[in-house]
Amino acid sequence: MSSIKSLTIVIPVIERGDQLLEFLNGYYESISGLDLDYEFIIVLTPEYSGLAESIKNKYEAENVKVILLNRNYGEAGVLKIGIDHSAFENILTLPPYEQIAPSHLPKIIDAFGEHDAVVVNRWPRVDHKVNRIQSAAFKGILKLMAYDVPKDPGCGIRLSKKEVFDDIKLYGDMHRFFFILAKQLGFDVAEVDIPQSKLDSYRRIYGFRTYLSRVLDVLTVGFLTRFNQKPLRFFGTGGALSFLIGSAGLTYIAVERLMFDVAASGRPLLVLFSLFLVLGVQLIAIGLVGETIIFTSSKNNKEYRIKKIIN
């Protein structure tokens, strides 16, 4: 017996979409066997527009909708488009490749219960070693930066009330941090263990750019969740430190120049300390710009989220 009556399944297809049709079949069978109203929304980027015909031929338009995009809006953007078109209040997001076996989908629905959202923790893992090392490294960095880190940040399978997606600003790669961002807004998010699919275990190596952008994303999320109301505390602390080192060093050089007649102009230290001073000023100034942004938009951005009001 499932706890929900209706469900929209959103599948954004921006990469690894070649075998979508097979997986879709498995997912479809798993979901259509349940006692609930459902719809699939498949969002295709131009690269995969060829799949649209075969999907349309195979399924009834009522149950499986296809959205064709004129360009790639990035995974979070594509996901958002799918969610915006959903008819129901509960959204299940799936990647276009198999992370868990389709037959396990009902387990997620069971785990949903009274929570606002459930994310999947692929466990037990059958992953390739290289993948595991990558996942562990990503999670390690994430833990340094953010408070609530899910057990499996790399899993794209989540079941959530639509309001959670609407409250999180989905752009860029923010979908990866669904769990963290939802927790930040005070939503009740649970995790459920589902065995990883064998198909998900092959070794994945990405380009250098991918790794770099992951790290940058983590830094962004850390900043946005910890300092989003106080940019000056983030920039100002480092800036003040740098400024102090710079001014102390320059004072030392000035004292030596004036009291002991050591020529200042020939000293590399002069450049170093000036650099610290300049860096300090720059960081503080950037922090202050951040603060003015918060200040001028403070009436639009509520810092709190209300669960309920009595009377």
Partner 1 sequence: MKDIEISIIAPLYNEEDSVELLYQKIKEAAVKTGKAYEIIFVNDGSSDNTSGVAAALAEKDQALRVVEFRRNFGQAPAMAAGIDLARGEILVTMDGDLQNDPDDIPMMVDKLEEGYDLVVGWRHKRQDKLISRKIPSMIANRLIGAVTGVPIKDNGCSLKVYKAEVIKNSPFYNEMHRFIPALLSLSGVKVAEVKVRHHARQFGESKYGLSRVYKVLLDLMTIKTVLSLGQHPVRWFVKLSVLPFFVSAAIFLGSVDQAASSNVITSTLVVMFFSLGIFLVSLGIVVELVYFKGSFSIKDATSLSMNSSLMDEKK
**Interface contacts to partner 1, rule CB under 8 A:** 183, 185-188, 229-230, 232-233, 236, 263, 265-268, 270-271, 274-275, 278, 281-282, 284-286, 288-289, 291-311
Complex with partner 1: residue 134 or 160, whichever CB lies closer:
160
Complex with partner 1: residue 101 or 240, whichever CB lies closer:
240
Per DSSP, 100 falls in state B
d(C-alpha 300, C-alpha 281), whole Å: 30
**Amino acid identity at 33:** G
The CB-of-168 to partner 1 minimum distance in angstroms stands at 13
d(C-alpha 221, C-alpha 170), whole Å: 12
Ramachandran bin of 16, using left for φ above 0, alpha for ψ from -120 to 50, beta for the remaining angles: left
| Residue 68 · residue 52 · CB < 8 Å | yes
Complex with partner 1: residue 129 or 307, whichever CB lies closer:
307
The CB-of-55 to partner 1 minimum distance in angstroms stands at 38
Complex with partner 1: residue 129 or 299, whichever CB lies closer:
299
Ramachandran bin of 67, using left for φ above 0, alpha for ψ from -120 to 50, beta for the remaining angles: beta
| Residue 102 · residue 194 · CB < 8 Å | no
The CB-of-266 to partner 1 minimum distance in angstroms stands at 5
Complex with partner 1: residue 128 or 230, whichever CB lies closer:
230
Q: Is 49 in a helix, a strand, or coil?
A: coil
**Residue 95 CB neighbour total at 10 angstroms:** 21
The CB-of-29 to partner 1 minimum distance in angstroms stands at 37
The CB-of-161 to partner 1 minimum distance in angstroms stands at 13
